[in-house]
């Protein structure tokens, strides 16, 4: 492992979960309600009448994810394959027998935010990348952060995945960003993640009542109860009330904001690696 400059751009993947902020800004603009049903935009999607925007934000929709083992093997074998958010959503919709009732338990699934990505586009008439740039990056002065639209990563950092067949690490830096979409298409730097985490925890980008509702978190199924997720962020029950953007991980690129002591902690790795065969999700 080598030391890298703090200003080095990196794929922060789902660490940021900026889509949740973009969605809640549309709520503040009265263009959307968290109680709106998925059926308003996807009337033929399974259980759409029972799934709300809030369910999607909180990972409580009951929708099975599209990132099963077969999908990941194919994507890793063809990292630049033409796969869109629409393709991912349709893949989840076909798993009718795997759907569970909405708002019963919290299960991390990228399809929730793939749907939100498309809803933002349908409601605002703008791409998610444009909404993030205008509503989040520009107000916070995050000039070196952007929503990825191609597979080119600025700078010298690379991303690798372990191939159990060849028993070698393979360079996967050029993965098609449209596959994770909003769930992992952000590029940023550690210095620029810091003001975003602060704004996220303190509600600087939203109207006064919206951040309060965002603080509500539910324990993630299959994890210890001290780990919970809310509308685009997760929290750990510690004495310092640590919170972080959703999917933050010390093994990748993380930003934490300790609300009571105003203490920052950040870390990054020069690569993201896994020994799974292949991983269920490489960007979470």
Burial environment of residue 78 by CB neighbours within 10 A (0 to 12, 13 to 18, 19 or more): exposed
Q: Could you give the CA distance from residue 243 to residue 265 in angstroms, rounded to a whole number?
A: 11
Q: What was the pLDDT predicted at 211?
A: 63
Q: Could you give the CA distance from residue 107 to residue 15 in angstroms, rounded to a whole number?
A: 17
Contact by Cβ (8 Å): 219, 225: yes
Cβ-proximal residues to 30 (8 Å cutoff; 6+ apart), any chain: none
The whole-number mean pLDDT for each consecutive block of 10 residues of the chain, a chain of 284 residues, reads: 66 71 93 96 97 94 90 81 88 95 91 94 94 93 84 72 82 74 75 82 78 68 60 51 40 40 34 32 35
Q: What was the pLDDT predicted at 138?
A: 94
Q: What was the pLDDT predicted at 22?
A: 92
Q: How many CA atoms lie within 13 A of 102 on its CB side?
A: 19
**β-pairing, 168-171 with 186-188?**
unpaired
Q: What was the pLDDT predicted at 277?
A: 33
Q: What was the pLDDT predicted at 192?
A: 84
Cβ-proximal residues to 225 (8 Å cutoff; 6+ apart), any chain: 219, 237
Cβ-proximal residues to 130 (8 Å cutoff; 6+ apart), any chain: none
Spatial strand order in the sheet of 146-147: 10-11, 186-188, 146-147
**Cα-flanking dihedrals φ and ψ of residue 187, to 5°?**
-115, 135
Map out the domains of the chain with their CATH numbers: 10-267 (3.40.710.10)
């Amino acid at each position: 492992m080598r030391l890298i400059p703090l200003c080095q751009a990196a794929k922060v993947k789902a660490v940021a979960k900026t889509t949740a902020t973009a969605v809640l800004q549309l709520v503040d603009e009265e263009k959307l309600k968290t109680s709106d049903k998925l059926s308003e935009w996807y009337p033929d999607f399974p259980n759409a009448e029972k799934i709300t925007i809030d369910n999607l934000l909180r990972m409580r929709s009951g929708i099975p994810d599209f990132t099963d083992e077969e999908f990941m093997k194919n994507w890793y074998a063809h990292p630049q394959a033409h796969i869109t958010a629409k393709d991912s959503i349709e893949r989840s919709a076909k798993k009718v027998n795997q759907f569970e009732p909405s708002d019963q338990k919290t299960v991390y699934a990228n399809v929730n935010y793939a749907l939100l990505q498309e809803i933002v586009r349908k409601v605002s008439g703008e791409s998610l990348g444009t909404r993030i740039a205008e509503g989040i990056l520009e107000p916070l002065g995050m000039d070196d952060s952007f929503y990825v639209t191609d597979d080119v990563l600025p700078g010298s950092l690379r991303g690798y995945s372990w191939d159990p067949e060849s028993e070698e690490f393979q360079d996967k830096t050029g993965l098609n960003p449209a596959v994770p979409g909003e769930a992992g298409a952000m590029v940023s730097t550690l210095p620029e993640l810091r003001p975003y985490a602060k704004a996220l925890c303190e509600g600087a980008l939203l109207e006064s009542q919206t951040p309060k509702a965002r603080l509500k978190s539910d324990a993630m199924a299959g994890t210890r109860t001290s780990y919970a997720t809310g509308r685009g962020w997760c929290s750990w029950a510690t004495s310092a009330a640590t919170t972080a953007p959703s999917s933050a991980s010390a093994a990748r690129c993380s930003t934490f904001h300790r609300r009571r002591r105003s203490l920052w902690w950040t870390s990054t790795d020069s690569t993201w690696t896994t020994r799974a065969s292949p991983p269920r999700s490489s960007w979470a």
